[in-house]
Structure 1
């Protein structure tokens, strides 16, 4: 049972308008940068960093590093439930939060692009979701794996998942997507799926850009094999 002091500390953290706005913005499950959260809260990035440090220290949020960037997300379902309960009590008071737009402005890049050597964007995340939904992959915040069922599924499409001897390459790992802020699949699996999609004519690399164009053949293939249909 939490002490009165602990209860007051959490209530104080969640009760500050700027911190409340940032917790609210994280409720959709995405991971956001300090700058993005600062924009939501209407404060400077420097001020936001101080607030985020307090939230992280109290265990309300987690900080996730992706390359040179740092993203923030709610620590767990309990925190989300707490925020949701406060939102329900406060429902009808004040305007709804303004949406946060993440990633590139170019719609083509947001739809599908290469991230190093794997598919990212809405398509990459949708494929990762489809593999999980079909029992072909398991993804957590800390790692990912392809199940035996998944190996058979991908092999049936002609996607080989062999790695060279002495290779230090990870077979499968989650990569936090820049625009969707949810995981797509990297590692050997991500590379093989991207190469197969290119070779099969499902996607086409846009000239002078990381954007990937999904062909009509690709639309049919992604729908047939993965149940993926992008609006």
Structure 2
């Protein structure tokens, strides 16, 4: 596959198809045993793991927050982040108002006693990715643990996050990725089809089967 700068790439396929493995290879969590992955023409074997990680932001299905203030969680390990950058990221994802209702606002410590919903945690991790502002983005767009209204908020926040970035979206519900520039269809560890939504539907292959079966269930 050849992904151009700024494209939105959806990765779809049944459970066990290799979607997560593909992402782990892109992030250099696994080293490739054959073939090449290049970023801007440079094989990632020539880049340190830290350098590769610096190029990516990630928003995963399992939200990862640590014990520390909300501000610390959003800044994470990025140096010299101004208050205005933090606040504008939180406003962009729609979590600023909620944070300000907490007793200590952005200085509220996230620990076992802090009662955040799954959606609020996810919005904080999206704000973290906005502040990091890396050129490449990986999104696991599963929002199965949130209600419909929160899902719309998260989807809107993710749409804002992808602007100007090259993004890889692990798609669970195919209805959310119709606007992707490229859809990679995976099965049994291989990319078996690629194209946009209309091209793949017209091809009447595996993607069309997956899409129609989800659509029938939803109907």
TM-score normalised to the size of structure 1? 0.22
- Structure showing greater radius of gyration is 1
TM-score normalised to the size of structure 2? 0.23
Where relative contact order (Cα < 8 A, 6+ residues apart) is larger, the structure is 2
